[in-house]
Every structure is written in C-alpha cells, then in structure tokens.
C-alpha cells in the first residue's frame, strides 16, 4: 500500500470516526452543554483531517483554511473542560464567570484562524511519498502557538479539577490525561516537516484511536452503554486477531498436512476471507440473537431502560395502596393484559382469581413474590413477571422500613410532647390548687348565696385544672344534641363584659352535636380569649353566628389582628398572643374539636379582624 494513500486513508477514517462520535455525543447528551462542546471538538477534528485530504487532492485553499482553523479545536475542548470541571465540590464562581466569556474565546479563535489564512500562514510542499503536504510558514506559527496555549490552558484546568473532584469525574479526568498524552504523541509528527525535518509522520496513522480513546475516557464513567459498547468492540478485536493468527498458523501447516491446494493460496487472501467471514458474523449477530430470543422467550422485551423506568415509578410511591396500583399499571402495560397485584403482610386465606395475579408476601423478615395464573402464558411473559416481581418485592421491603421509621418518629415526637406537657400540667395544677383551697376555706363564714357563687367558680376552676391535666392524655366525650342559645345565656354571667357588646345571631332552635361539658369549655375559652383583647376598646364587639352548613359556628371580634408570624402556630401549646396567657387555651379547644371529629380554623378573610370557624359533625365521632 503506498504510504501517501495510507496517510490519506487514516485521515479519512479519523474524520469519519470523529463525525460519528460527535453525532452520537450530541444526541445522547443533548441536555449537557459540556458534552455538546466535546461534540464540537470532534467536528473540528473531522474538518482538520478533511483539510489534509483536500490538500492531497489539490484543493489547496480549502485544505489550508480547514487546517488553519485548528485553534477552534482546543477552544471547544476548553469550553468542555469548563463545564465538566465546574460541577459538584469543584464548582467555583470564577469558573462561572469564565463560562460567560465562551463567546469571546470562540471569536478570538475565528479571528486567529482568518488572520493567519489571510497572511499566508502556510504553504504546500512535496517531500518523500507526498506530492502535496501542508507546512506552517510565518504567521502560521502564531496560529499553532495559540492552539497549543489554549490546549495547555484546558488541560491545566482539568488538572485543577482532578485535585478537587472525586469519584467518577476524577477518574474521567485521569483518563482524559492519558488520552491527551497519546494524542500529543501522535500529532507531534505532523509538525516535523514544518521544522525542516522531512520525516514520514508514522504516528499520524494511529490518529483514529485518539478520538475514540478521548471520548471513551470522558464518558466511560458517565454512560453505561459506552462501557457495553467498548466491551463488545474489544471482544471482536481480540477475536479478529485470534482468527488471523490461526489462519496464518493453518496456512503454514497446510502443506505438511497434505492440503497442497490450500497451502498455495496467498496468506493475504486467507486473511481477507477470514475478516470478511468475521464481519458477516458480526453483522448477523444482532438479528440472529434477536430471533433466538424471540423463539426461546417470545414476547419478552426487557432492557436496562425499561428496568430503570420500573424502578423510578415504584420508588415514587409512598403507600401500600399507591404501590399496588402503580405496579398493576406497569405490569399490565408491559404484558398487554390486566394483572392483579396483591401486597400481603400475612399468608392469604383465599384462592386466586381466574386472571393473572402477582402476590408479594411478607415472610419472616423478607418479602417474596408468587405468580398465580401464569402457567399457560408464554415463557417471555413469565420471565417479565418474574423480573418485575423481584423488583416489587425489593420495593416492598424498602417501603416497609420507610413507613416504620416514619411511624416511629411520629410516636417519638408525640410521646415527647405529651411528657413535656404532662410535666407542665402537673406543676401548674399543684401551684393553682393550693390558693384555690385557701379561697375555699376562706368562704366558710360568708352568707350562703355568696358562698355558693364562689364555690361554683372554684369548681369550674378545678375542672379547668383537670382539663389541663387531661390534655396530655386522651379525651373522652359523650356527644349529644345541645341547644346553643340556652348554653350561651348560662355562660354570660360568668364574664366581666364591661362595655363589650355580645351579639348572638343564631336561630332559636340552633343546636350542635357535642359533649355539653366540652362544648361549654370550648365556648368559655374562646369568649374569655376574645374578651381579653376587646374589653378595653370603646366599641368592642363579639359576634357568635351560625354558618351556612349544619354544625358550623363562627365567632368574630373586632380586636387587634393576629400577627402573620403567629397565625401558623396559633393552636400549638404554649403559644400565646394574650398578655398573661398560658398558651393552652386554643390548644385545648383544638383537641376538644378534634375529639368530636370536627375542627377549628382561624380566618382573616371573613370581614372581621379576628374570626374563628368551628365545625361540629352531625354524627358522633367514631
């Protein structure tokens, strides 16, 4: 093979490889700017090699323009290095600022290329086997110097990233350095004729390997399919080398074995036939493998992307119901027919239905799956169900542990809250009951009517203490239909209204389904809380009104609005906006409402500065 033709063939092969790899990179990593820049590097290398081919065919102007555009190659690589390094722990603000000047780097590279082309930065000479070969002249040395400078800057940035990155990205940078050293060794021989050393550029014949090694070094730790492709490529290369060696050995021994006709066949023809046979086997491997898979496992189409999709969809579920529903949809979509999924924590006591069923059973400390009704399906569909069942069983175990941790944390927080509240309640009860006992003894000499009034209030105070103690435990209610107006009229004398106006806009027969004693406690706490804010206002008003729905009650007052930062924690214990308040009043009200199966809400959009909406269900809480 003529040496000039060998060089031309390698340039064309490098150009084709670079274009194919760049197209694949751009398609596979279209959302990663750094990979797009690497694809641009491959395109520029393809154009650079095409420039040499153009020179060989006498298209000197076009070829020189493409070769002198080589500053764009390291510029694309520098763009890639900036984006590749500026991630994770190595992310720096100065790299982000440098990234904003990408356009300036490209403009500079274009200006250097056009300037050296206009100033005649190269010429075409003939030496050795080459009739047309490009060499640098004059301003062309500035072109190659700028190219080397940008390349060194890009690799220095990668070196900086290597010292700060970890894991796969650090390994990728190390692989890039190895590929860069190989590329520098190959490209050095291209410069020799420009220096007057008319040597044949033997290393340039291996240039196609540089593109593949560089890209593989970058993405091998990022994309799994690249490693699979490299594994297949290495396998076929080794098989080709082994086959060529066996053919050479067989050709040498054919004469001794009595096969004179075979021994007379030129060795290169045997090699050519062997390579053609191997290429044919490579071309038929995929369709034959797919045909065999369809014959053995008809209907089975399992691949890595499908498994990743299944894992992602199952991982997004956060309850047993949603996990079973999602599993049914995924498996039915893959198999083309309905499949029932059952998640069972105990052994089932029922027989499977007529359709296809996948059971996930909790057995001792593990989850296992069983297939029901899959005896008559194809082997491919059964394989699909088995793979999916294994993934589902694993997800069941993870979800079980996640729910157990969440429940344990909820119980821990609840128990800690009750312990703290119980301790505070006990301390307050002790401090309050001592003065109440003294007041009770002091009423011994009073007249009967006044003594009875004081004793009633002492009993009420004692009930409030009991309720405060009960807040840390469980509330027991006995709901029934309670007329609201008579209860409110009985509560009115207990408060010091001063000039506050109480308006009851309730129907005469309005009633709620509640525990009378707990309902009295709710209304007492709310009215007392409202009075503490509106009692000193000249136009203080408190309004109790029926809502639009049954069991709905509104309490409005025109006191000062509650600050926004306190609204979100208004019903938490020990939070008080009231001077001298304990911070338990609204918290107790909320607990009583929830014990009834209802709720209380603070509203600031009802036309009043402060509004509370209470809802009592029509049926008793279960």
Write down the domain spans for the chain.
3-222, 234-296, 304-405, 478-615
Taking only the tens place, the pLDDT of each residue in 242-255 is: 776 777 777 777 76
Continuous H helices in 500-610: 516-534, 564-567, 585-595
Q: Averaged over 348-366, what is the pLDDT?
A: 73
pLDDT number for residue 582: 53
Q: In terms of pLDDT, which residue wins out, 230 or 583? A: 583
pLDDT classification of 225: cutoffs 50, 70, 90: very low
pLDDT classification of 69: cutoffs 50, 70, 90: very high
Q: Which two tokens stand for residue 228?
A: 């699979």
pLDDT number for residue 621: 46
Residue recorded with tokens 């600050």 = 563
Q: Which two tokens stand for residue 495?
A: 């408060």
Residue 580 clears pLDDT 50, i.e. is over it:
no
Q: In terms of pLDDT, which residue wins out, 267 or 440? A: 440
Range in 30-39, 70-79, 185-194 with the lowest mean pLDDT: 30-39
pLDDT number for residue 386: 87
Q: Would you say the CATH fold of 478-615 matches that of 3-222?
A: no
For residue 479, give Cα distances in angstroms to 284, 516, 549, 598, 617.
80, 7, 19, 12, 10
Measured at the CA of 570, the angle between CA 569 and CA 574, to 5 degrees, comes to 85
- Other CB atoms within a 10 A radius of the CB of residue 451 amount to 14
Residue 212 clears pLDDT 80, i.e. is over it:
no
pLDDT number for residue 573: 67
Question: Exposed, middle or buried: residue 124 (CB in 10 Å: 0-12, 13-18, 19+)?
Answer: middle
pLDDT number for residue 104: 93
Dihedral Cα 394, 400, 406, 410, nearest 10 deg: 180
Sorted by sequence, the CB contacts under 8 Å of residue 56 that are 6+ apart come out as: 4, 8, 63, 130, 131, 132
pLDDT number for residue 63: 92
Sorted by sequence, the CB contacts under 8 Å of residue 359 that are 6+ apart come out as: 341, 342, 344, 348, 369, 370, 371, 372
Closest C-alpha among 571, 563, 565, 502 to residue 534: 502
Q: Report how far residue 509's alpha carbon sits from residue 493's, in angstroms, rounded to the nearest whole number.
A: 22
Q: Averaged over 447-455, what is the pLDDT?
A: 79
Q: In terms of pLDDT, which residue wins out, 427 or 504? A: 504
pLDDT number for residue 64: 93
The topology under which CATH files domain 3-222 is Rhopdopsin 7-helix transmembrane proteins (1.20.1070)
Q: Report how far residue 125's alpha carbon sits from residue 193's, in angstroms, rounded to the nearest whole number.
A: 9
- Beta-strand ranges (E) seen in 487-607 are 501-505, 511-514, 541-546, 552-557, 599-603
Q: Averaged over 359-381, what is the pLDDT?
A: 80
pLDDT number for residue 1: 45
Range in 398-402, 412-416, 530-534 with the lowest mean pLDDT: 412-416
Q: Report how far residue 338's alpha carbon sits from residue 325's, in angstroms, rounded to the nearest whole number.
A: 12
Strands 356-363 and 339-344: parallel
pLDDT classification of 75: cutoffs 50, 70, 90: very high
Among 35-39, 117-121, 252-256, 471-475, the range with the most confident prediction by mean pLDDT is: 117-121
What percent of the chain is predicted at pLDDT more than 90?
Answer: 11
Residue recorded with tokens 């105070």 = 461
600 contacts 585 by C-beta, under 8 angstroms? no
Residue 30 clears pLDDT 80, i.e. is over it:
no
348 contacts 266 by C-beta, under 8 angstroms? no
Q: In terms of pLDDT, which residue wins out, 582 or 390? A: 390
pLDDT classification of 220: cutoffs 50, 70, 90: low
381 contacts 415 by C-beta, under 8 angstroms? no
Q: Which two tokens stand for residue 565?
A: 């930062």
Q: Averaged over 204-210, what is the pLDDT?
A: 82
pLDDT number for residue 102: 86
**Residues facing residue 557 across a β-bridge:** 542, 610
Residue 230 clears pLDDT 50, i.e. is over it:
yes
Q: Report how far residue 47's alpha carbon sits from residue 69's, in angstroms, rounded to the nearest whole number.
A: 9
Range in 271-275, 328-332, 539-543 with the lowest mean pLDDT: 271-275
For residue 361, give Cα distances in angstroms to 255, 371, 372, 455, 560.
69, 11, 13, 63, 59
pLDDT number for residue 224: 44
CATH class of 478-615: alpha beta
Residue 532 clears pLDDT 60, i.e. is over it:
yes
Q: Report how far residue 248's alpha carbon sits from residue 237's, in angstroms, rounded to the nearest whole number.
A: 17
What percent of the chain is predicted at pLDDT more than 70?
Answer: 82
pLDDT classification of 105: cutoffs 50, 70, 90: very high
pLDDT classification of 116: cutoffs 50, 70, 90: very high
Arithmetic mean of pLDDT over the chain:
80
pLDDT number for residue 466: 66
Q: Averaged over 491-513, what is the pLDDT?
A: 85
Continuous H helices in 167-223: 167-191, 207-219
Q: In terms of pLDDT, which residue wins out, 206 or 299? A: 206
Taking only the tens place, the pLDDT of each residue in 288-318 is: 776 766 665 555 566 777 888 888 888 888 8
Measured at the CA of 433, the angle between CA 431 and CA 436, to 5 degrees, comes to 120
Range in 103-117, 225-239, 310-324 with the lowest mean pLDDT: 225-239
pLDDT number for residue 115: 93
Q: In terms of pLDDT, which residue wins out, 446 or 151? A: 151
pLDDT number for residue 135: 92
Range in 266-270, 331-335, 550-554 with the lowest mean pLDDT: 266-270
pLDDT number for residue 620: 52
pLDDT number for residue 71: 94
Taking only the tens place, the pLDDT of each residue in 181-194 is: 788 788 788 888 88
Task: Give the single-character DSSP code of 618.
Answer: S
pLDDT number for residue 118: 92
């Amino acid at each position: 093979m003529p040496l000039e033709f060998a060089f031309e063939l390698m340039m064309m092969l490098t150009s084709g490889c670079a274009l194919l790899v760049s197209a694949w990179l751009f398609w596979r990593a279209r959302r990663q700017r750094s990979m797009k820049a690497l694809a641009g590097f491959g395109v520029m290398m393809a154009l650079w090699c095409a420039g040499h081919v153009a020179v060989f065919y006498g298209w000197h102007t076009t070829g020189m323009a493409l070769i002198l555009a080589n500053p764009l190659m390291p510029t694309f690589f520098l763009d890639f290095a900036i984006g590749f390094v500026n991630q994770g722990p190595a992310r720096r603000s100065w790299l982000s600022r440098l990234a904003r000047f990408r356009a300036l780097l490209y403009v500079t590279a274009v200006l250097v290329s056009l300037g050296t082309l206009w100033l005649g930065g190269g010429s075409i000479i003939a030496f050795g086997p080459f009739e047309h070969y490009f060499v640098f002249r004059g301003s062309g040395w500035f072109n190659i110097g700028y190219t080397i400078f940008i390349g060194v800057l890009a690799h220095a940035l990668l070196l900086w990233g290597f010292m700060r990155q970890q894991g796969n990205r650090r390994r990728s940078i190390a692989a890039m350095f190895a590929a860069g050293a190989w590329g520098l060794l190959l490209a050095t021989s291209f410069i020799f004729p420009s220096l007057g050393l008319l040597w044949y550029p033997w290393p340039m014949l291996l240039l196609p390997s540089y593109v593949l090694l560089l890209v593989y070094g970058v993405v091998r730790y990022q994309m799994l399919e690249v490693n699979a492709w490299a594994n297949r490529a290495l396998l076929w290369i080794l098989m080709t080398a082994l086959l060529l060696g066996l053919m050479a050995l067989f050709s040498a021994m054919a004469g001794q074995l009595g096969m004179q006709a075979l021994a007379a066949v030129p060795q290169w023809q045997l090699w050519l036939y062997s390579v053609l046979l191997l290429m044919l086997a490579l071309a038929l491997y995929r369709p034959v493998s797919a045909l065999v898979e369809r014959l053995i496992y008809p209907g089975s189409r399992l691949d890595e992307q499908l498994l990743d999709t299944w894992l992602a969809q199952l991982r997004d579920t956060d309850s047993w119901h949603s996990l079973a529903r999602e599993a049914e949809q995924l498996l039915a979509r893959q198999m083309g027919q309905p499949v029932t999924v059952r998640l069972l924590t105990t052994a089932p006591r029922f027989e499977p239905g007529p359709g296809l069923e996948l059971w996930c059973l909790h057995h001792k400390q593990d989850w296992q799956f069983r297939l029901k009704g899959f005896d008559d399906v194809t082997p491919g569909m059964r394989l699909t169900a088995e793979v999916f069942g294994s993934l589902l069983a694993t997800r069941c175990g993870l979800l079980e542990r996640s729910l157990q941790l969440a429940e344990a944390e909820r119980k821990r927080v609840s128990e800690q809250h009750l312990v703290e509240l119980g301790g505070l309640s006990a301390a307050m009860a002790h401090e309050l009951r001592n003065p109440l006992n003294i007041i009770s003894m002091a009423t011994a000499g009073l007249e009967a009517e006044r003594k009875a009034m004081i004793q009633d209030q002492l009993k009420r105070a004692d009930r409030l203490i009991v309720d405060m103690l009960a807040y840390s435990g469980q509330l027991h209610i006995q709901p029934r239909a309670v007329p609201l107006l008579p209860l409110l009229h009985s509560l009115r004398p207990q408060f010091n209204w001063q000039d506050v106006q109480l308006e009851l806009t309730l129907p005469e027969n309005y009633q709620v389904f509640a525990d009378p004693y707990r309902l009295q406690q709710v209304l007492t706490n709310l009215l007392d809380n409202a009075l503490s804010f509106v009692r000193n206002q000249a136009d203080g008003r408190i309004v109790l009104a029926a809502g639009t729905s049954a069991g709905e009650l509104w309490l409005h007052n025109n006191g000062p609005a509650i600050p926004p930062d306190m609204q979100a924690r208004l019903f938490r214990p020990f939070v008080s906006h009231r001077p001298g308040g304990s911070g338990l009043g609204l918290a107790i009200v909320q607990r009583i409402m929830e014990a009834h199966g209802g709720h209380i809400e603070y509203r600031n959009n009802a036309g009043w500065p402060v509004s509370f909406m209470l809802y009592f269900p029509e049926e008793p809480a279960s």
